[in-house]
Amino acid sequence: MTNKMVGVASLMGMVTALWAVFVYAPNEATMGVVQRIFYFHVSAGMMGYFAFFVVFVSGIAFLVNRDLKWDRVARCSAEIGVLFVTVNIAMGILWAKPIWGIWWTWDARLTLQLLLWILFISYLMLGAYIADPLKRASLQAVFGILAFIDVPINYMAIRWWRTQHPSPVIAGGTDSGLDPDMYIAFMITLAAFMLLYAYLLGHRLAVERTREDVEYFEQLVHSQ
Amino acid sequence: MTPLVSLILKDIAVEMRRRESVISMMMFGLLVTVIFNFAFEPSGAERDLLAPGILWVALTFAGVIGLNRSLAIDLDNDCLQGLLLAPVSRGSLYVGKVVSNFLFMIIAELVIVPLFIIFNDLRLGSELIWLILVVVLGTLGFAAVGTILSAISANTRMREVMLPVLQIPLTIPMIIAAVAATGLLLSEDSAGFGAWVNLIIGFDMIFLIVSYLVFEYVVEE
């Protein structure tokens, strides 16, 4: 399956998700129509975590195999992860204003998400300031691993500190759970986001490969 | 003399001659304390609430200043190449650097913390021992993370900017725990102090072990 087909599938998924979120899913009892932001907010957050997990795993794979292919996957995935977490935080801010009455609060989950965002922007910045590709790949892989390990410790520290964000409704405690129709709408949205991630990653990798080829030929021309 | 000891002695000898990092850490930590005093003008009860935060901001920024040159020195005069050729494991290089960075930070803190207590008129009895414990454990975690990150940032074009950008977000769980533990010491009710100290110990252990394992990938040529 070519990446173009994944792109078309993700577009179709997004259109279906929009229908499921705005037409199919029922209105939430207390929050009303605002709650519909939930489907995109949570899906983007989940895919952000997944993208950073890919950074972590590809970082280890690079250090073990010394294959620059893994470094490329890690960097591209980090960029997409930052994008998804940005969407997640931006939608969270929009949702918080009408429901909590404030744009932002230094609650556990919000702080954690912001730190995750900052950590992986640092990761991208680090890559931009090292010239030698092999050196850059190792150093970024190491920082990616350290940053990912930091997340659960951060989670503990911040959770003891304070919590306002609602606990997870999916796979949460005993009285958690979604209305079955909402659950279906959420699953459709999540699937659409997965396809979007796959498409963006495939596309970004292709761009990166082209860039590396251009760089290679440029050096070839200059050396003559 | 084991290789590890000679590595540490080498760093101490360099620092004795240059007197760069310890002095700049002391000055910087002191300056942060002074600035915060103007910024907040804390008095009485407020002081106990603000003090833990001010102390850890001062120690964090002072630490970053000191760590900045830690590996850059070895890189600039090609000392690192010599160290890599020496028959010591990459892990020992890391441990040696952590010990010397930890030592320099502690020396600077021996000046910063007492002055901080005096300037803020903190009344500490037996809590002082626990405060020392929190500072020592926090400094160890800071040195554990900072040593590997200073090795990373020494390879970048913007060394002095890159280290805080990498170091501060990564040490936030440690800083939260240290501020909370210090705050509990200064308040009447110190319940939950042990849990925060355990978190700092956990942070120290995890980052010491992981950094020890991956340090060779950072220094390799």
Backbone angles phi, psi at A32, to 5 degrees: 70, -145
Backbone angles phi, psi at B20, to 5 degrees: -95, -60
Q: Considering Cα of A113, then A116, then A120, then A126, what sign does the dihedral take?
A: positive
> For chain A, which residues score pLDDT lower than 70?
1, 29, 161-177
**CA-based angle A70:A3:A68, to the nearest 5?**
15
Q: What is the pLDDT of residues B172-200, one digit of tens each?
A: 989 989 998 998 888 877 777 888 899 99
CA-based nearest residue in chain A for residue B153: A126
Compute the distance between CA of residue B52 and CA of residue B59 in angstroms, rounded to an integer. Answer: 11
| DSSP, res A172 | -
Contacts of residue A179, defined as CB under 8 A and 6 or more positions apart, other chains included, come to A26
For residue A28, give the 3-state DSSP assignment.
Answer: strand
The domain that contains A15 carries what CATH number? 1.20.120
Gap from A212 CA to chain B (nearest CA, Å): 20
Contacts of A122 in chain B (CB under 8 A): 165-166, 169
Structural domain including B45 reads: 3-219
Q: What is the pLDDT of residues A150-188, one digit of tens each?
A: 888 877 777 776 555 565 555 555 555 677 888 888 888
The pLDDT score that the predictor gives to residue B60 is 94
Compute the distance between CA of residue A131 and CA of residue A118 in angstroms, rounded to an integer. Answer: 22
Asked if B64 is an interface residue toward chain A (Cβ–Cβ < 8 A), one would say no
Alpha helices in A129-179 (DSSP H): 133-161
Contacts of residue B83, defined as CB under 8 A and 6 or more positions apart, other chains included, come to B7, B74, B93
Contacts of B156 in chain A (CB under 8 A): 126, 129-130, 139
Q: What is the pLDDT of residues A109-122, one digit of tens each?
A: 788 889 899 999 99
Yes or no: say if B133 and B182 are a contact pair by the CB < 8 Å rule: no
Residue A151's closest CA among A179, A124, A118, A180?
A118
Q: Considering Cα of B201, then B204, then B209, then B212, what sign does the dihedral take?
A: negative
Provide the number of structural domains found in chain B.
1
* Residue scoring higher pLDDT (B139 or B46): B139
The pLDDT score that the predictor gives to residue B4 is 86
Residue B143's closest CA among B204, B194, B189, B75?
B204
Contacts of A146 in chain B (CB under 8 A): 145, 148-149, 170, 207, 210-211, 214
Q: Please report the residues numbered 107 through 146 in chain A whose beta carbons come closer than 8 angstroms to any beta carbon of chain B.
A: 115, 118-119, 122, 125-126, 129-131, 135, 138-139, 141-143, 145-146
The pLDDT score that the predictor gives to residue B31 is 93
Alpha helices in chain B (DSSP H): 3-18, 21-40, 45-68, 72-76, 79-85, 90-119, 127-153, 159-186, 193-219
* Rounded alpha-carbon distances, angstroms, from residue B200 to A38, A147, B96, B140: 35, 17, 21, 9
Compute the distance between CA of residue A181 and CA of residue A171 in angstroms, rounded to an integer. Answer: 16
ipTM over 0.85: yes
Size of interface A-B (CB pairs under 8 A): 83
Structural domain including A204 reads: 3-223
Confidence of residue B123 (pLDDT cuts 50, 70, 90): confident
Compute the distance between CA of residue B150 and CA of residue B178 in angstroms, rounded to an integer. Answer: 22
Provide the number of structural domains found in chain A.
1
Query: Tokens 């195999």 appear where?
Result: A65
Inter-chain CB proximity B169 and A125 less than 8 Å = no
* Residue scoring higher pLDDT (B155 or A154): B155
Q: Which two tokens stand for residue A173?
A: 């405690």
Query: Tokens 């280890």 appear where?
Result: A60
**CA-based angle A77:A81:A82, to the nearest 5?**
120
Contacts of residue A115, defined as CB under 8 A and 6 or more positions apart, other chains included, come to A154, A158, B169, B172
Inter-chain CB proximity A139 and B202 less than 8 Å = no
Yes or no: say if B70 and B97 are a contact pair by the CB < 8 Å rule: yes
Q: Which two tokens stand for residue B57?
A: 């901001």
For residue A32, give the 3-state DSSP assignment.
Answer: strand
Q: Residue A163, by phi and psi: left (phi above 0), alpha (psi -120 to 50) or beta? A: beta
Inter-chain CB proximity B157 and A145 less than 8 Å = no
Inter-chain CB proximity A142 and B218 less than 8 Å = yes
Inter-chain CB proximity B217 and A119 less than 8 Å = no
Residue B180's CB is within 10 A of a number of other CB atoms, namely 23
Q: Which two tokens stand for residue A29?
A: 């009892």
